[in-house]
Chains A and B, each alone.
Chain A
Amino acid sequence: MALLDSIPYVELVEGSRPWPRARVSDEGWGRAIDLLADGRLTLLGLWADMPDVHMALLDQHDDVAVLSFHAEDGKYPSVAARHPPAGRLERAIRDLFGLEAEGAPDARPWLELGFWDVRQPLGPRQPAQEPPPYEFLPVEGDGLHQIPVGPVHAGIIEPGHFRFTANGEHIVRLEQRLGYVHKGIESLMAGAALERGAKLAGRTSGDSTVAYAYAFAQAAEAALQRSPPPRAVYLRALMAELERLANHFGDIGAICNDASFALMHAQCGILRERTLRAAAALFGHRLMMDVIVPGGVTRDIAADDAATIHALIAEVRKVFPELVELYDSTASLQDRTVTTGIVRTDYARQFGAGGYVGRASGRDFDARRDLGYAPYRDLAFDVPVLEAGDVNARVWIRIREVEQSLFLIEQILERLPDGQTLTPIDADGRSGEGIGFAEAFRGDVLVWLRLDGNGRIARCHLRDASWFQWPLLEVAIENNIVADFPLCNKSFNCSYSGHDL
């Protein structure tokens, strides 16, 4: 049964690929909210494209569909009223487009912090006005104190504001305020050619530049009904797995470092550096920016490049198991990570948390396997899942994924097809819309793209996995001590830039 069989819709929108988009009235929109609130559907995204609001959904059989509600008079029924994961998305839609979610539980702005010259920049574009002061949620009780942190943090970290309310050492509430690195990427996308769009997508969250370019290229290729050459498909996956390895090494080391265990940090830093150097040797850029483009990839690898990768894999297989053993047998480190910052499995499911945040809390989802994009449907790999939901579980998911990525890279090199790596796409005069997913190291990236009939981007929405992870960090930190916040935060490693856009 397809997802849309359970939702009454008015009509299917022509040209939406590879998944359908349907126009719905109050009835269909309400039915979708029922199913979200019942846990039978997962919210993948909520965004606007004037004058419509779009909702991307995932069902239990991994079918995907987008629903569109015509926001007449600038209003649409709030999803967050009954399904909290939509809350921040609705607040962002109001800030950017001026569309109101009727019945929404939180009327405060989200991305707009009062510094823009224009209000609702993607909608009616009203002149800016002095905003009322932002009200943090009220806290009451004896002996509580607040610790405001950021936007400028103490380390080499992205900016954001955290408002802790603590009772002694124990955190009773964390409230996040984000939006500081909002760059207006979606406004820059409008009217851009695909080439520029790919570059912008690749700079949405630099640590996931490959995943974003991958998802963007898949969305563009779906919209234009073009397939990249088989060799390009495999090279994309090779880059995606190298990116995952580099980030997981960095994260495992950094989490241990936040528990003051510098040895792991130093050793994992070496593995990360070796991975980036291999990436630079093969693809000419340490982070592999701008290599994936709609139509394929811009660089091919040479025959002897495989040896570089095999040497990297051999080094990782030699060093990494010892580091894992060190992690697992150091009691002082385990004391910090085990039972710290627990994300409950029901929250992970409700929020559709992707990546290691979801998989450490029982949510068995990986876009590579469950949405089956090329070439992963032809590759064998396991998706590790744990239930404990603590910092330790999020470390272990990363450890297991490092091992799986090594297997994947070996398969990719073994099967790497010959031939072209790029079929240039001529988008002139073309319309259509596409949805692309890629499993970034921190979770699934969604890119939705609509072309304007002249082959340019009319609207592009990029949804980072962080949207559904940041709120869970607020919950996970409750009743933990203030000193464990950096540890918990690093174990999530949400993207600020990917979220703020």
Chain B
Amino acid sequence: MRRTLLESLSHGPLTEAPPQRDEAALSELAESFKRTARAKLGRSLSIRQVDAGSCNGCELEIHALNNAFYDLERFGLRFVASPRHADVLLVTGPVTKNMRQALLRTYNATPDPKWVVAVGTCAIDGGIFAGSYAVAGGVKDVIPVDLHIRGCPPSPTDLLKGLRALLENANRRGYDG
């Protein structure tokens, strides 16, 4: 183990330069954020991920955000285990009818102020699964959505761009309530 650790030290960090913030995401957020959260939240957001019916492809790429290349926590973003601890719900999938109630309950269990980020093409409007008897629709059909990150699945870089825009916006625009 010692050797592996030492080698890790010698080759330098793998973590890459952060990608640019997604300008389209910024403008979408400008609509949805009226208040600044900085006073309350500082430069950090806690994220609770909710799979509301995804094929699990989005989960794989969300997982990757924690690896050495993307290192999500350097931006003050971290995943938490309970909606009670979360500022952000990161929701994937078409929302299945079987998950609709669980998603609503999770949303209601998340304290204000909170933001909802819908991840993946299916989360917009159900995607390829739209129209099924078992699908309620996109995330916005069940809970209010502040930001969509598109892709099937979105790459970790796409996710980072969107989440950085969210962080910037939460810090810049804020919260006064």
Contact = CB atoms under 8 A, between A and B. Distances in A.
A181 B97 contact: no
Given A180-B98, A181-B96, A269-B67, A188 B59 contact: no
B99 A180 contact: yes
Interface in B102-145: 102, 105-106, 128-129, 131-135
Interface stretch (B20-28, B48-56, B160-168): B48-56
A206 interface: yes
A183 interface: yes
Contact of B51 (A157, A182, A250): A157
A206 B100 CA distance: 21
Contacts of B99: 151, 159, 180-181
Contacts of B153: 206, 287
A182 B100 CA distance: 12
Contacts of A289: 57, 152
Contact of B57 (A152, A207, A267, A500): A207
A183 B53 CA distance: 7
A287 B57 contact: yes
Contacts, number: 146
Interface in B1-20: 1, 3-5, 14
A156 B83 CA distance: 13
Given A183-B94, A183-B129, A206-B56, A156 B62 contact: yes
Most buried by A among B50, B79, B82, B132: B132
B98 A179 contact: yes
Contacts of B128: 188, 196, 199-200, 203
Nearest to B80: A154
A499 to B, nearest CB: 11
Contacts of B133: 116-118, 121, 184, 187
A495 to B, nearest CB: 7
A151 B50 CA distance: 10
Chain B: number of interface residues, binned into ranges: 35 or more
Nearest to B90: A156
A184 B79 contact: no
Interface in B23-77: 49-64, 66-69
Contact of A158 (B59, B83, B98): B59
A38 interface: no
Contacts of A188: 128-129, 131-132
Chain A: number of interface residues, binned into ranges: 35 or more
A205 B55 CA distance: 5
Interface stretch (A97-105, A270-278, A343-351, A406-414): A270-278
Given A116-B97, A179-B98, A330 B82 contact: no
A181 B53 CA distance: 4
Most buried by B among A115, A154, A199, A323: A115
Contacts of B3: 322
Nearest to A202: B55
A181 B3 CA distance: 43
Contacts of A116: 97-98, 133-134
Contacts of B155: 280, 286
A250 B59 CA distance: 12
Interface in A8-33: none
Interface in A222-248: none
A152 B92 CA distance: 12
B14 A270 contact: yes
Contacts of B68: 266, 269-270, 273
A37 to B, nearest CB: 33
Nearest to B14: A270
A323 B62 contact: no
Contact of B98 (A113, A206, A272, A330): A113
Contact of A156 (B1, B49, B106): B49
B67 A181 contact: no
A155 B81 contact: yes
Contacts of A276: 64
Given A115-B97, A286-B155, A326-B1, A209 B57 contact: yes
Nearest to B131: A188
A183 B132 contact: yes
A185 B81 CA distance: 30
Most buried by B among A157, A159, A188, A204: A159
Contact of B60 (A184, A206, A263, A280): A206
Most buried by A among B59, B62, B83: B59
A497 interface: yes
A181 B102 contact: no
Contact of B56 (A113, A154, A207): A207
A410 to B, nearest CB: 25
A159 B96 CA distance: 11
A272 B153 CA distance: 16
B94 to A, nearest CB: 6
Nearest to A118: B133
A283 interface: no
B65 to A, nearest CB: 9
Given A116-B133, A183-B96, 16 more contacts: A113-B98, A116-B98, A156-B79, A157-B51, A157-B59, A158-B51, A183-B132, A184-B133, A184-B135, A185-B129, A187-B134, A206-B58, A263-B4, A269-B64, A273-B69, A326-B1
6 contacts: A181-B96, A183-B134, A263-B1, A273-B64, A323-B4, A496-B56
Interface of B: 1, 3-5, 14, 49-64, 66-69, 79, 81-83, 93-94, 96-102, 105-106, 128-129, 131-135, 152-153, 155
Return the 8 tightest CB-CB contacts between A and B, nearest first. A206-B57, A184-B132, A184-B134, A154-B81, A269-B67, A206-B55, A115-B97, A203-B55
